[in-house]
């Protein structure tokens, strides 16, 4: 069971599952006066930014 949880954690980390939580933590620590966006807004903005600036993507 422990190995299964470790694999699930690894996939979640690769797919960005914890990114919103880390972003919120960053905002609270570094920018305490800033409004925290909803998780839906965070992902929408992140995907929009990636589409506008493909950077390291192959396509």
Residue 8 maps to a domain: no
Structural domain tally of the chain? 1
Checking if the pLDDT of 32 tops 90, the result is yes
Residue 4 maps to a domain: no
Average pLDDT for the chain: 89
Residue 6 maps to a domain: no
Residue 29 maps to a domain: yes
Stated length of the chain: 59
- What pLDDT shows up at residue 58? 67
Residue 46 maps to a domain: yes
Residue 3 maps to a domain: no
Query: Residue 24 is part of which domain span?
Result: 19-52
Tell me which residue of 36, 20, 39 sits closest to 28, measured CA to CA: 36
CA distance 53 to 48: 9
Per DSSP, 47 falls in state H
Q: Give me the mean pLDDT over the 26-48 stretch.
A: 95
Structure tokens at 48: 């929009």
């Amino acid at each position: 069971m422990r190995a299964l949880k470790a694999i699930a954690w690894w996939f979640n980390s690769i797919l960005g599952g914890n990114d919103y939580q880390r972003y919120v933590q960053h905002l609270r620590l570094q920018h305490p006066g800033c409004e925290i966006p909803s998780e839906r807004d965070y992902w929408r903005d992140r995907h929009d930014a990636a589409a506008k600036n493909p950077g390291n993507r192959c396509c």
